Amino acid sequence: MEHISADEFHNRVSSLNSDDLILDVRSPSEFNEGHIEGAQNTPHEEVTGVVDSLKSYKTVYVHCKMGGRAKMAAESLQGVGLDNIVCVSDGGMQRWMDMGWPIVK
């Protein structure tokens, strides 16, 4: 599994297409406060429940606020056999917002 920083993730977001998914594993209330456009919200403790839908994507970028929950979720997904996971393990939404990059509410 590839681990990337929030900065690297930001660099990749503009070139994502329909077979890539941004999976935001924060709580629904955190997600509603602001998220990356097009992101899907599934709390980290529930990600194994959406494995079948994640299989259809070329790449699933897993992120959270700082990186801890993203690591847990990514490891869970890898543990059930997914090989299309990229973990944003350094930074996350906190870095995204600190940098003033665009969010939707």
Q: What is the pLDDT of residues 29-71, one digit of tens each?
A: 999 999 999 999 999 999 999 999 999 999 999 999 999 999 9
Q: Cβ distance 97 to 103 under 8 Å?
A: yes
The second-level CATH assignment, the architecture, of 2-98 is 3-Layer(aba) Sandwich (3.40)
pLDDT at 13: 96
Instruction: Calculate the average pLDDT of the chain.
Output: 97
pLDDT at 57: 98
Average pLDDT over residues 88-92: 95
Residue 46 neighbours by CB distance under 10 Å:
12
Residue 102 neighbours by CB distance under 10 Å:
10
Percent of the chain at pLDDT above 70?
Answer: 100
